[in-house]
Amino acid sequence: WVTFPPSVPTLRAGPLFATCLEEGVLYVPGEDCYEAGVGAEMARRTMRLCFGVVPEEQISEGVRRLAAAARRCAAAAAVPAP
């Protein structure tokens, strides 16, 4: 599990999910892992990582891509809207 600050939501409809897809990496949004109405705040900002079917030599590249996507979204969240 990975937990992000509230400014970086991990929702399937959120910018991080879309940015990860652009980077060629995928995660399970926390919203898919919590019962409806239970842990809503955590569901919005957590992700579950699955690496059981990925060859070991590809895991570090996936982590690099995930980190790049997270940095892009965190930077965008920190910029105030015009």
* Whole-number pLDDT of residue 10: 95
Rounded-to-integer distance, Cα 57 and Cα 29, Å? 24
The whole-model pTM stands at 0.85
> What would the mean pLDDT of 15-34 be, rounded to a whole number?
94
For the segment 48-72, what is each residue's pLDDT rounded down to a tens digit? 998 888 898 899 999 999 999 999 9
